[in-house]
Amino acid sequence: MWRRPRQRDETPEDSLGKLGEDIAVRFLANEGFRIIDRNYRSPSGEIDIIAERDDVLHFIEVKTRSTLGQFSPEDAVNLEKRRHIRRVARDYLRPFRQPSPSTFDVVSVVLRPDGRIEILELHRDAFGWEE
């Protein structure tokens, strides 16, 4: 008998990540980005935010931390994560005959223990299509 897979419970990291994405979306909108999609999923995985600004398509990874530790949030976008994001971006672009120029960006969010924003940075062109 087929059973629906059990959904996993939301972890504190999931909640923190969602909060960071919400903060990033507001920040990007204030910076003139038009949000096209959030949590875009393809067979290859997920991209947090897809946005457009000045006729350029931005594939945006959001990294959120509750404290600024030894590493910055953007340091978590390692080689493997960049490859993953590129695959999803290719899936997204596949139906378009002539896609717009595109870039890969990272938004770093660090929150204080009281929930206030300590760091909110957009790292444009954080990596390219090739390694």
Q: Is the pLDDT of residue 15 over 50?
A: yes
So what's the pLDDT on residue 58? 97
β-partners of residue 60 are 49, 105
Classify domain 12-127 at the CATH topology level. Answer: Trna Endonuclease; Chain: A, domain 1 (3.40.1350)
CA distances from 10 to 15, 42, 108, 115 (A): 7, 21, 21, 19
The reported pTM is 0.86
Which tens digit of pLDDT belongs to each residue from 20-65?
A: 999 999 999 999 999 999 999 999 999 999 999 999 999 999 999 8
27: Cβ–Cβ under 8 A, 6 or more apart, which residues? 107, 120, 122
- Mean pLDDT of all residues in 87-103: 90
Question: CA-to-CA distance for 97 and 23, rounded, in angstroms?
Answer: 33
Domain-by-domain residue ranges, the chain?
A: 12-127
Longest Cα separation, the chain: 52
Predicted confidence band of residue 1 (pLDDT cuts 50, 70, 90): very low
Which residue type sits at 10?
E
Tokens standing for 15? 């909640």
So what's the pLDDT on residue 85? 96
Mean pLDDT score of the chain: 88
So what's the pLDDT on residue 29? 97
